[in-house]
Amino acid sequence: MQKNISIVGAGLVGSLLACYLSKRGHKVNVYERRPDMRKAGYVGGRSINLALSYRGWKALKRIGLDEAVSKMVIPMHGRMIHDRAGNTQLTPYGKDGQAIFSVSRGDLNRLMVEEAEKFADVNFHFDHRCAAIDFDKNNISFRKEEDGDVTVQNADIIFGADGAFSEVRYKMQTTPGFNLHQQYEPYGYKELHIPPGAMGEHQMEKNALHIWPRGSFMMIALPNLDGSFTVTLFAPLQGEGSFGSIHNAADVQAYFIEHFPDAVPLMPELAKTYFDNPTSSLVTIRCFPWVYKNAALIGDAAHAIVPFYGQGMICGFEDVKELDEILDATNEDWPVALDKYQHQRKPNGDAILDLALHNYVEMRDLSGRKDFQLRTQIEKKIADHFSPRFMTHYSMVVFSDLSYNEAKLRGEKQNELLDKIMAIPDIENRWQNEEVMKMAEDWINNN
C-alpha cells in the first residue's frame, strides 16, 4: 500500500533514502533548509572530501546508482605517510587491487539529488526549514527561508535525515524516554587546497590518501578529478600546535613550514585560504530511541561520528540498505520494521563512533611511528595467511560485510595477539620468522 513519506534533509542519506522508498512504490517528499545546490552552488570551505568504500558501494548497487557514481571517483590504494623531512611511505589499505575512493561531497550530493528526481513520485522542496512536528497527527510545519511563510504537511511516515544538528531529533528530544549524549571534541578542522600543476596534473601521488601525522594534530589530502587535492588540517582548538596559536599570515607560514614543509610549495594561496575558510567543530551524537510513533532518525541524525574512519556517509548508506532489507523481511509492516531497524542499527552506530574516535589517534600519531608501522605489517602478513579467520582490523571495517559491532569486538580480541607478538624481544628483526606465524596460528585455532 502506497505511503506518503516525508524526508527532512536532502543530503546524501536523505537522497538515497528517497530513491529506495520511491522504488518501493511510495510517494516521497524531501525537504531541505538549504537552497538547491544545483542552482546556488555547493557551499565549500568546510567540506571534508568523502571516501567511498565497500559498504557504500553495496548500498548504491542495490538501488542501481553505482555506475553513475563510479564515473566521479578516484581510487586510493593506501595511506601515503609524509614525515617532517618530506619523506613518504605508502601503506596499502588491503589486498592488491583493494581501494577506497575519493569523491567530492558537493558533486556527489548534486548527483544523488538528480538521480533521486528520476524516480517516480519524488519531489524536492528546498529552502524549507523544519519548524515543528506534531507526532500525534503526523504533521510537519516548514518555514520557507525566503519569505518566512509556514506550511503544514501531513505524512504517513517521517524520516529525519537532517544531519548532526537534526531538527527532527531536536523535536524528538521532548518525547518521553528519549536519551541523548552530545560531545564536542577538543579539536576542529579547516579545509585547505592544493591546486593542479601547470599541465592540470596532480602534484602528488594521485591514488593515495595523504597523511601528515604530527602527534596531537595532522593534515590529510584527498585527490579530485580536476588534478587538485582537498586538504584538511585537524588540530586542537587551543594549546600547542592549535588553531588558537595562529593569528596572522606570518603565523600560518611559520606553522606550515615547521610542521608540513613539503606541502607549503604546493599551496600558493595558503594564508588566504586559511583565513577565508572557517575553523569547523567536530561533534559526536549518541541517542535512543531512533523511532517515535511514525517518525524515525537515520544517518548522522541518529549517530553523528567524527570522520576519521571515512564511514560517516557509509554508515548512513548502510542504514538505508538495511532498512530496505527489513522492509522486505517484514512485508512492509512499518511499526515492526522501524522497531527492528533501530535495534539492529543502534549497536553498529555506537561501534563505528568508537572506532572513528580511536582512528584519529592512529592517523595523527601512531601511523607515523616505526613500531606501529611494524605492527601493521605483521597484522597484514597474518591476514594474508589466515584470511578469513583473521582479517586486519581496517579490512573488517572497510572491506567486509561484518557488522561494525562485530568488527570492533574482533579487532579488540586480535589486539591481544598483536600485543604478544610485539612483546617478543628483538621483534623488528624476528617478525618474519616462523615462530611468529606459529604463534598466530595457535592463537587463531584457540579463539
Pairing between β-strand 157-160 and β-strand 295-297 as defined by DSSP bridges = parallel
Pairing between β-strand 209-213 and β-strand 291-292 as defined by DSSP bridges = unpaired
Per-residue model confidence (pLDDT) at position 417 = 96
Instruction: Give the CB-side neighbour count of residue 400, counting CA atoms within 13 A.
Output: 22
Last residue within a domain, chosen from 358, 384, 418: 358
Residues 158 and 291 in one domain: yes
Q: Cβ contacts of residue 341 below 8 Å, gap of 6+? A: 290, 291, 296, 319, 322, 323, 326
Any domain includes 215: no
User: Rounded distance, CA 371 to CA 376, Å?
Assistant: 9
Last residue within a domain, chosen from 358, 382, 401: 358
Residues 380 and 431 in one domain: yes
**If you write DSSP's letter for every residue of 328-361 in order, what string do you get?**
HHTTT-HHHHHHHHHHHHHHHHHHHHHHHHHHHH
Residues 113 and 161 in one domain: yes
Number of domains in the chain: 2
**Cell representation of residue 200:** 592540470
Q: Element (H or E) spanning 386, and its range?
A: helix 370-386
Any domain includes 441: yes
Residues 112 and 171 in one domain: yes
Any domain includes 69: no
Per-residue pLDDT of the chain (447 residues; tens, 9 = 90+): 899 999 999 999 999 999 999 999 999 999 999 999 888 766 555 566 899 999 999 999 999 999 999 999 999 999 999 999 999 999 898 787 899 999 998 889 999 999 999 988 999 999 999 999 999 999 999 999 888 999 999 999 999 999 999 999 999 999 999 999 999 999 999 999 999 999 999 999 999 999 999 988 999 999 999 999 999 999 999 998 899 999 999 999 999 999 999 999 999 999 999 999 999 999 999 999 999 999 999 999 999 999 888 899 999 999 999 999 999 999 999 999 999 999 999 999 999 999 998 888 887 877 778 888 899 999 999 999 998 899 999 999 999 999 999 999 999 999 999 999 999 999 999 999 999 999 999 999 998
Residues 26 and 152 in one domain: yes
Per-residue model confidence (pLDDT) at position 166 = 97
Residues 35 and 109 in one domain: yes
DSSP annotation of 225 = T
Per-residue model confidence (pLDDT) at position 40 = 72
**Cell representation of residue 176:** 518521553
Any domain includes 298: yes
Any domain includes 306: yes
**Cell representation of residue 154:** 501531513
Q: Which residues of 34-46 are buried (b: 16+ CB within 10 A; e: fewer)?
A: beebeeeeeeeee
Per-residue model confidence (pLDDT) at position 97 = 82
**Cell representation of residue 362:** 592512529
Helical ranges in 234-369 per DSSP H:
249-259, 270-276, 300-303, 312-329, 334-364
Judge contact between 19 and 63, C-beta under 8 A. Answer: yes
Give residue 241's region: left, alpha or beta (phi > 0; psi -120 to 50): left
C-alpha dist (Å) from residue 113 to 40, 293, 296, 302, 403: 14, 28, 21, 21, 28
Any domain includes 118: yes
Last residue within a domain, chosen from 335, 358, 381: 358
Residues 139 and 167 in one domain: yes
Residue 307, classified by CB atoms within 10 Å of its CB into exposed (0-12), middle (13-18) or buried (19+), is buried
Residues 437 and 307 in one domain: no
Return phi, psi of residue 82, to 5°. -110, 120
Q: Which residues of 87-108 are buried (b: 16+ CB within 10 A; e: fewer)?
A: ebeebebbeeebbbbbbbbbbb
Q: Cβ contacts of residue 430 below 8 Å, gap of 6+? A: 424, 436
Per-residue model confidence (pLDDT) at position 195 = 97
Per-residue model confidence (pLDDT) at position 77 = 96
Residues 171 and 113 in one domain: yes
Judge contact between 393 and 411, C-beta under 8 A. Answer: yes
Any domain includes 314: yes
Judge contact between 75 and 207, C-beta under 8 A. Answer: yes
Domain that includes residue 432, residue range: 369-445
Residues 286 and 352 in one domain: yes
**Cell representation of residue 4:** 506518503
Per-residue model confidence (pLDDT) at position 353 = 95
Residues 24 and 123 in one domain: yes
Domain of residue 292, CATH code: 3.50.50.60
User: Rounded distance, CA 395 to CA 429, Å?
Assistant: 26
Any domain includes 232: no
Residues 32 and 163 in one domain: yes
